[in-house]
Amino acid sequence: MDIEVIWKQFLKMLSDYDSIAQASYKKSAGIPFLYIQAKDHPSKNELENAIRQSAAGAMQGKQLHSETEFVRNEDNLFVFRHRFYVPQKKMFCCGNLCPDCIRLKN
C-alpha cells in the first residue's frame, strides 16, 4: 500500500467540498501538515468534518487510521497536522490477560 496514493485521493476528495478552494500537504521535520485554503470563512468544525469524511473515503477498504490536529489559521488559510497510520497489532501474549490478546483471536 502506497501512502502517496492515499494522500492524493484524500486531497482530491477534500478539494471537492464547496467550502474549500484548495488543499495541499507538506512534510516538515517528517510531520505531514495539511494546508487548506477556504472559501467564505467556514468554521473550524466544518473543515474538520470535511477532513474526517474525506479521510474515511480515502481509507475505505484499507487497514488505516487517521489523526488530525488543528495548528493555526490565518484569514482563510487553515493548517492542520494530519497523518495516516497503520494500527499496531499485538504479535505475542504478554501474560497480562489483555482484552485484545492474540490467544483470544480465532
C-alpha pair distances (Å), 2 with each of 5, 79, 84, 104: 6, 24, 11, 31
* DSSP labels, 17-31: STTEEEEEEEEETTE
User: Per-residue pLDDT tens for 53-82?
Assistant: 999 999 998 888 999 999 999 988 999 999
Question: What is the reported pTM?
Answer: 0.78
Question: Would you give per-residue pLDDT tens digits along the chain (106 residues)?
Answer: 578 999 999 999 999 999 899 999 999 998 999 999 998 888 899 999 999 999 999 999 888 899 999 999 998 899 999 999 887 776 778 888 787 777 777 6
